[in-house]
Amino acid sequence: MGTYTYMKGGFPGENLPGVHAALDFLISNINHCHGYEKSPSEFVSMEGQRVVVLGGGDTAMDCNRTSIRQGAKRVTCAYRRDEANMPGSRREVVNAKEEGVQFLWNRQPVEIVGEERVEGVKVVSTEMGPPDARGRRTPQVVEGSEEIIPADRVLIAFGFRPNPQPWFAEHGIETDERGRVKAPAESQYKYQTSNPKVFAGGDMVRGSDLVVTAVWEGRQAAEGILDYLNV
């Protein structure tokens, strides 16, 4: 079931008109391209707009390049760490730069500003501090470094968390403290959850990751089911 809880920045202005969740924008683009949209107002068009994309993962890269291809006037991608510590694919950054995306590394958003609708993003500069438990260096704010990046549209691409459903508990499917379904690879039946008849894999088990790992875990879970059924 993937990971579909949007992570928010928790700063003022996130609900201003002109601010969009990354997936809403990307889905509206796909619906528009394939003629699936129910009404033209569903389409978020970046044509002629100054777009600021917040985040540094693969979703942010999709937002950058989709905005460019829709004819945005300017696309700026602001990320709170430096280029070496970003989570997205390096190749995507190269490709995004080739298409004209401007990257602002070491910028942490603190507010989306505007009266009636978005007018800009207030950011502070950061410096990279010591590595965290996962080895990624933590950004630390530089005092007095506030600046405003002008924007007509802002796309928030801060990533996704699991979305455990109420029926998990009803059916004895346990999750960890981050909402990920517990389905260990190394148990007797691979990827079996705490309900013996339910198996799980992919993002809902490991958190947002990659297509290849989800496909691998799906295959492994299928083998786990065959072993459980003794076939």
Ligand X SMILES: Cc1cc2nc3c(=O)[nH]c(=O)nc-3n(C[C@H](O)[C@H](O)[C@H](O)COP(=O)(O)OP(=O)(O)OC[C@H]3O[C@@H](n4cnc5c(N)ncnc54)[C@H](O)[C@@H]3O)c2cc1C
Contact pattern from residue 10 through residue 49 relative to ligand X, giving x for each residue in contact according to CB under 6 A and a dash for the rest: -------------x--x-----------------------
In the numeric block, the tokens 């003629």 are attached to 35
Q: Would you say 175 and 167 are in contact if contact means Cβ atoms under 8 Å apart?
A: no
Indicate whether 98 belongs to the interface with ligand X (CB under 6 A): no
Contact status: 198 vs ligand X (CB under 6 A)? no
Containing H/E element for 123? strand 120-131
Site string for ligand X, 50-69 (x = CB under 6 A): --------xx--x-------
Interatomic CA distance for residues 52 and 152, integer angstroms: 8
- As given in the structure block, the two tokens for residue 187 are 């148990």
75 part of the interface to ligand X, by CB under 6 A: no
* Cβ 200 vs Cβ 191: under 8 Å: yes
- Interface with ligand X, residue 147, by CB under 6 A: no
Which one, of 35, 32, 26, lies nearest residue 6 by Cα? Answer: 26
Residue 71 engages ligand X in binding (rule: CB under 6 A): no
Using CB under 6 A as the binding rule, whether residue 209 contacts ligand X is answered as yes
- Nearest approach, Cβ of 64 to ligand X (angstroms)? 11
23 vs 104, which CB is nearer to ligand X? 23
What does the alpha-carbon distance between residue 101 and residue 50 come to, in Å, rounded to a whole number? Answer: 11
Instruction: Pull the structure tokens for residue 224.
Output: 């786990």
**Site size for ligand X (CB under 6 A):** 16
Q: Which residues of 175-200 are buried (b: 16+ CB within 10 A; e: fewer)?
A: beeeebbebeeeeebbbbbeeeebbb
Q: Which residue lies nearer to ligand X by CB, 12 or 172?
A: 172
Give how far Cα 121 sits from Cα of 26, 182, 201, Å: 21, 38, 37
Residue 33 vs 211, nearer CB to ligand X: 211
**From 13, 162, 202, 224, residue interacting with ligand X (rule: CB under 6 A):** 202
Residues lying near ligand X in the complex (CB under 6 A) are found at 1-2, 23, 26, 58-59, 62, 165, 202-204, 208-211, 214
